[in-house]
Amino acid sequence: MNTQLEGIWKRMLNLGLGALAHANRHAAYCCMENERWSDLSVLQAAHAAEILIKARISQEHPLLIFDRLPAISDDELSLDDLFEKGKTVEWSELPTRLWATTGINIPELTVYKEFGRLRNGIQHFMPSFVSESASVKTLKFIFSVIDPFINNCWGLYAIDYDEDYDPYLYFAPCLIRNNITFLVSKDAANSSEDWDIDWAEVDPSYRKEMQRRIDVAKLG
């Protein structure tokens, strides 16, 4: 492999996780100075998913994320050529490319496709009806698609990526109040007694499942 391409997947993974933390922050919280956090969370979550999927493909070989490669000059394909002239695989084609290169399937493919349409609607058209439920849609996408994907690929947990000073105190309760199941890391489980949530108000079946996950994570 060209030495310029080594380690690209790790840098993509780091960027994707940063975008994920940004999406979680904007989906779970609100800002008095910016009423568009909810809509922005959709764009950020889609951005995170795209980068993370490409990071996993790139882990096999960085050139596999490209749909079209630039012409080679001087018998060598430079990183600058790829950056300026290369075209990477688009959102709709990523599930097929991921499976073909790694054997991994996108979790909840229907949710993935629907979220892509939502992202396009907000980015290119901004329909007025989206904002009310955009945050919940973002969180459901993150924890049904991105969460199991990064856990399967790298043993990571989406709950661990939040830009708040305490990554669990208010973020985990936001998910619980919306009945969004999520994979529980050991760090998250160890902080669960401090979560700002009244479990008595939570749906019993959902509460049972999440408490089971917390107990398993504590033992891990």
Please indicate, yes or no, whether residues 133 and 219 belong to a single structural domain of this protein: no
Total number of domains constituting the chain: 2
User: Residue 131: what pLDDT?
Assistant: 47
Whether residue 109 is found in the same domain as residue 197? no
Same domain flag for 135 and 147: yes
Does one domain contain both 141 and 179? Answer: no
Pair 118, 212 in one domain:
no
Q: Are residues 29 and 89 in the same domain?
A: yes
End-of-domain residue from the set 163, 184, 199: 163
Q: Structure pTM?
A: 0.90
Same domain, 8 and 70: yes
Last residue of a domain, one of 163, 189, 212: 163
Percent of residues, the chain, with pLDDT higher than 90: 63
Domain co-membership, 134 together with 199? no
Judge if 120 and 211 occupy the same domain: no
Position 126 scores a pLDDT of: 64
pLDDT per position as a tens digit, 36-52: 778 899 999 999 999 99
pLDDT < 50 stretches in the chain: 130-132
Q: Give Cα separations from 145 to 46, 71, 141 (angstroms).
A: 11, 35, 6
For residue range 144-181, list pLDDT tens digits in order: 999 999 999 999 999 999 988 788 988 999 999 999 99
**CA-to-CA distance for 165 and 169, rounded, in angstroms?**
9
Beta-carbon neighbour count of residue 149 at 10 Å? 23
Q: Are residues 106 and 54 in the same domain?
A: yes
H helical segments located in the chain: 8-28, 37-60, 79-85, 94-102, 109-124, 131-141, 147-154, 171-177, 186-190, 204-219
Kindly state whether residues 157 and 180 are assigned to the same domain. Answer: no
Domain span at 95: 3-163
- The residue written with tokens 């009423």 in the block is 35
Same domain, 83 and 170: no
